[in-house]
Structure formats: C-alpha cells, structure tokens
Amino acid sequence: MLPRGAPNQPGEKVSSQDPGEDPSVSLFREYLRLKTVQPEPDYEAAVRFLERLAAELGLGCQKVEVCPGRVVTILTWQGTDPHLRSILLNSHTDVVPVFEEHWTHDPFEAFKDAQGNIYARGAQDMKCVSIQYIEAIRRLKAEGKRFPRTIHMTFMPDEEIGGHTGMELFVKRPEFQALRVGFALDEGLASPTDTFSVFYGEKSTWWVTVKCQGKPGHGSQFIQNTAAEKLHRVTSSLLQFRDSEQQRMQQDKHLTLGDITTINLTMLSGGVACNVVPSELSATFDIRLPPTLDLQAFEEQLRAWFQEAGEGITCEFHQKSLDQTVTCTEDSDPWWKAFSGACRDMHITLNREIFPAATDLRYLRQAGYLALGFSPMNRTPVLLHDHDEHLNEQVFLRGIEIYAGLVAALASVPPLPAEG
C-alpha cells in the first residue's frame, strides 16, 4: 500500500484508529465523521480531506468552483494513452439530514459494533463508494498497474438537493469537457440478497404542485364548489393510480420499483383560520416515471384528472425531467462487456435495473454519456436516508476488491472506432 497518515489540517478532527482495524476502514470512518450534512455541509473539510489523499496517492488534484461555495474536486490518475476517452468515477460528498433521537448511535461518530457494522449518515449513500474508489486506486497503484485510459474521480456537492448547484452545472463547463469522459460509474443501491444491482437508467422525476381555487365562506355552512372538494378529487385520482401501480408490482414479482410509476403526496398547504373555508388549497406530488412510460400520454392523463376535478385548478412543475436515456447493457457494447465480464470473473451475479429515484447520472446521460449506477453492497438492507444507516466493514472491504477489478477492466477497454 502507498503511505497514509499525512498530518491533519489545523482544527480538523483527528480520528481514533483501532490498531487492529484495516486502514481502509479507518479512512472510511474518518470520512463519515466529516459533517457534510445538508443544509449546511462542511465542504471545506471534505476538500481538505480529498487533497490530502491526492497527495498521498500521487494523483492530480483540481478544484472547480461551479457556483459560490460549491466546489467539485477532481482526482486524476493519468493513463498511458492520452488519445483515449477517460473513465469517470463519480460520487457526492453531501449527505441528508438526520433525526438523532431515532439513531442508536451518534450518526457522525461512525460507531462500529461487535459485528463490524459501521453506523453513520452516508455509510451507504454514498461515502462508502467514494472511499472504495480511492482505495481501489491505491491498491492498483501499489501493485504497479498502469492502464491506457485516464481515470478521474469526481466528488460532487449538493447531489442530495437535486444537483442543480453541482453536476448539472459541472457538465456544462469546459473543465468537464477537458476530462474527455468515455464511460462513467456512480452510485447504486444495496441489495439484501446475494446478487448485486446495477442500474442502467433512471426514472424521470416530476414534482408538481396543484392549486385548487373555490368558493370561500363560513366553516359552519355547506358551501358548494369549494377548493377542498376539488383538491379531494385531484388527490383521489392520483392516489388511486398509485394504488393500481402498487398492486401491479405486487402481482408481478419480476417488476421492481424502477419499472413502475410511483406517486406520493408530499406537501399540503392552505387555509387561514379554523372557521373559514379557504378560497385556495394546494398539494404537491412527487411522481417518478419509468423510461418505458409514454411521458406525453401520462401528462395528458394528469391534466385530464385536473380538468375532471373542476374549474380553477392550475399546476406548477418544480421539476419535470423528459429525458429517458438508458445505457446499453448488450454484450455488443464494449463498456458493458468490460463491466459485466469483470463481474463474472469475480463471481458476481448482476441484476440489471432502472434506478427508482434520481442521481447525478441523469445529467451525464442527458449530455450523451454512457453511465452505470453501482454500489457493491450485497447481503445488506437498503438504508439510504434511513435512521441507523450502516454498512458492514467486510462488505465495504469486499467492495474495494470489486472496484479494483472493475476499474482495471474499464480502463483497459481497447481503442474504440470513434477514438481511432
């Protein structure tokens, strides 16, 4: 292994290390202790941490401020053939908020129990993958390996709040174009079974607020044509469709969350007093649409439900992704052949799926880049954003081995016709 243990920056928390603990696990726990939690993530600490590791590993380090206070950190291992497109290993540094009263252990202590389970916010989403990338590169460099393709590791801010001040801006910048990306990896999900999930596409995210206007009046009366009646009809239509999709998934065991449309009512607002029938009420829905769905037909259905509910109903889309690009997973594709072939060599069984939520990969795919979502966590409950999020250290260490094999395979893909 290459040397570790560079001195900490002034004021930076020093992590305690069990003398018998694998150094990669200690590094993972150190990263978990950095409070990069939304809405006020300590990104400066994360950048210092990554700069230190770049120096340890002899990697190039570039910082790109995509907007004030939001820096993308890029660690680069140069390949032997600069004419070839690069491999991008992307991850995000921010994590979602916590409700500490529901945690068994301090979510930023990175507590490890007797079974080797490490409890921390970001243990699965996705600080594990960030360190697995780094430790896979450390391992390959220590073995004296070199590859034709350059490998870039990018560490993004603000993915957990939509990526609008992170990857969405970064893909449009000249610094991103200069990376000359050929293929990218990013996060996936844990799998509770022996198999591993790999995600070749994502659902389209629609966030829509429906505003219903109606006749106001005194709360003691049977007032007709109220905003509440209209909102009830809208909500009933959407939630009935939600129920039908859930039943469809339950009846067909081959379907996953990525294959069906999910709808959830996430916010309600309106009203001025307990005894006043309001003139306006609104509801916000989080809708996730699979790439197999006809988006135009679904929007027509959505607007038909609104029209059926009555007059004075308007809607506003806060997010409305129309991109349905997916990455090829046929053996004829050289990138998929390299990825899946490396998995076979490591006796890894893959389930190809559509990601049920959204990641930074949607911005890459929209820009025309091939990408897969993959987090090497099997026999692990899915706990991203959940209380007591944790990952077992043996699963984490196995993930380093898996990424070492994947990186070696992808960075060795022979020149493609377009690169000739």
Q: Is residue 113 flagged as an active site residue? A: no
Whether omega for the bond prior to residue 156 falls within 30 degrees of 0, making it cis, is no
Q: Are 328 and 338 in contact (CB under 8 A)?
A: no
Backbone angles phi, psi at 323, to 5 degrees: -80, 130
SS in 3 state form for the chain? CCCCCCCCCCCCCCCCCCCCCCHHHHHHHHHHCCCCECCCCCHHHHHHHHHHHHHHHCCEEEEEEEECCEEEEEEEECCCCCCCCEEEEEEECCECCCCHHHCCCCCCCCEECCCCEEECCCCCCCHHHHHHHHHHHHHHHHCCCCCCCCEEEEEECCHHHCCCCCHHHHCCCHHHHCCCEEEEEECCCCCCCCCEEEEEEECEEEEEEEEEECCCEECCCCCCCCHHHHHHHHHHHHHHHHHHHHHHHHHCCCCCHHHCCEEEEEEEEECCCCCEECCEEEEEEEEEECCCCCHHHHHHHHHHHHHHCCCCEEEEEEEECCCCCCCCCCCCCHHHHHHHHHHHHCCCCEEEEEECCCCCHHHHHHCCCEEEEECCCCCCCCCCCCCCCEEEHHHHHHHHHHHHHHHHHHCCCCCCHHHC
Q: Return the amino acid letter for 206.
A: W
Spot the catalytic one: 125, 159, 360, 389: 159
Q: Is residue 94 flagged as an active site residue? A: yes
* Buried residues in 308-343 as b, exposed as e (16+ CB within 10 A): ebbeebeeeeeeebeebbbbebeeeebbbebbbebb
Catalytic residues: 94, 159
